[in-house]
């Protein structure tokens, strides 16, 4: 999977990783902790409500969150579109922050006094959207219990939710609740979009920092094993035919890929030898098509100077020299 059509997910993962590393290097993790007592109730440090969403306090939570975002965030962004996904991140973060503050006020007497550092609520809000809009690719059963390919992401999310109870579990439930509120569109949150000014500034200054989001170009070349053993390397000579499944690039020409007939007339073709080995034909014919040598083409070209070279090669591909001569003579008589 690549970051194609998922620039917002790429920016989110990079910024989250860099912020967590910087926080750990400079040993300022204590500023990203969120506790009702004493941070909010005694010292009135309400800025911690927003700051604790920017970085994780440990590498294990960061690693699990990055795995979930890479698998789920990219697919959700491709379904939403980058603009809607960026707007969803902002709305979900603000909504989950408000719910976290309310949860601390309501449940601090039963032991919920702090919440884990990092955007856990945002990760689980994205995971909820992933569970609702992305269908499973395959399903399987283990001891009669049905699973799907999405079960692996749910297992990672469960590990992240129970890592630091009760704060991590509360943040996970708040994120799922925020995702449900956004999807239900109770207060018309789904229609919100970032302003054109913010979008323009991001495209102008942030997009160049992210680099290209195109998928890596595949260049899968097929070489016969016999040719590989004979040459002792993966390089192909100029007379060999290259078979590739890579996407065509701009400015590519047909000079890199030769047709079979032209390759047979100019030299040994890799694909021709491969087909001969599969079919057991060693007489230069492949699937009913004869590969004429240069000597026969030159001989018939001298005999019939008025006939084009393509017609001579076509006649030799269907029959031997004698048959090709009869075919060309009959075509002239007719």
| pLDDT, tens digit, 9 for 90 and up, residues 229-271 | 444 444 444 444 444 454 554 444 444 434 444 444 444 455 5
- pLDDT tens digit string along 17-31? 999 999 999 999 989
Place of tokens 């790429």: 10
How many Cβ atoms are within 10 Å of 192's Cβ, its own excluded? 13
Mean pLDDT of 278-296: 62
Query: What whole-number distance in Å separates Cα of residue 316 and Cα of residue 334?
Result: 19
- pLDDT tens digit string along 42-79? 999 999 999 999 999 899 999 999 999 999 999 999 99
Mean pLDDT of 274-279: 54
User: pLDDT value at position 218?
Assistant: 62
Query: What whole-number distance in Å separates Cα of residue 121 and Cα of residue 89?
Result: 11
**Backbone torsion region of residue 300, taken as left when φ is above 0, otherwise alpha when ψ lies between -120 and 50, otherwise beta:** alpha
Mean pLDDT of the chain: 81
Residue boundaries of the structural domains of the chain: 7-210, 219-246+255-291, 293-334
Mean pLDDT of 154-171: 93
Q: Report CA-CA distances (Å) from 186 to 93, 245, 317.
A: 17, 48, 72
CB 128 within 8 A of CB 176: yes
Q: If you compute the radius of gyration of the chain from its CA atoms, what whole number of angstroms results? A: 33
Residues 6+ apart with CB under 8 A from 85: 8, 9, 73, 76, 77
User: pLDDT value at position 274?
Assistant: 57
β-pair partners for 211: none
Domain 7-210 has CATH 3.40.190.10: no
**Model confidence band, residue 185 (pLDDT cutoffs 50, 70, 90):** confident
User: pLDDT value at position 252?
Assistant: 43
Residue 148 has pLDDT above 50, yes or no: yes
Q: Report CA-CA distances (Å) from 29 to 12, 32, 165.
A: 20, 5, 18
């Amino acid at each position: 999977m690549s970051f194609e059509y998922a620039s917002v997910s790429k920016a989110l993962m990079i910024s989250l990783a860099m912020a967590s590393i910087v926080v750990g290097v400079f040993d300022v993790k204590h500023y990203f902790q969120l506790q009702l007592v004493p941070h909010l109730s005694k010292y009135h440090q309400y800025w911690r409500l927003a700051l604790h969403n920017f970085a994780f306090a440990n590498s294990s939570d960061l690693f699990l969150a990055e795995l979930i975002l890479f698998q789920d965030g990219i697919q959700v962004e491709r379904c939403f579109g980058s603009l809607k996904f960026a707007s969803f991140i902002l709305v979900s973060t603000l909504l989950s922050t408000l719910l976290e503050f309310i949860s601390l006020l309501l449940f601090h007497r039963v032991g919920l006094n702090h919440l884990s550092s990092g955007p856990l609520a945002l990760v689980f809000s994205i995971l909820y959207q992933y569970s609702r809009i992305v269908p499973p690719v395959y399903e399987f059963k283990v001891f009669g219990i049905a699973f799907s390919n999405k079960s692996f992401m749910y297992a990672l999310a469960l590990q992240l939710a129970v890592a630091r109870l009760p704060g991590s579990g509360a943040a996970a439930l708040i994120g799922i609740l925020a995702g449900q509120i956004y999807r239900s569109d109770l207060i018309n949150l789904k229609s919100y979009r970032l302003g054109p000014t913010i979008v323009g500034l991001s495209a102008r200054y942030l997009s160049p920092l992210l680099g290209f989001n195109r998928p890596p170009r595949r260049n899968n070349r097929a070489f016969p094993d016999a040719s590989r053993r004979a040459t002792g390397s993966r390089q192909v000579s100029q007379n060999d035919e290259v078979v590739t499944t890579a996407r065509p690039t701009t400015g590519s020409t047909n000079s890199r890929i030769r047709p079979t007939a032209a390759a047979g007339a100019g030299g040994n073709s890799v694909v021709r030898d491969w087909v001969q080995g599969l079919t057991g034909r060693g007489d230069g014919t492949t699937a009913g098509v004869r590969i004429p040598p240069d000597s026969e083409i030159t001989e018939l070209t001298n005999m019939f100077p008025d006939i084009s070279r393509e017609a001579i090669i076509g006649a030799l591909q269907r029959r031997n020299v004698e048959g090709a001569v009869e075919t060309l003579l009959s075509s002239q008589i007719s």
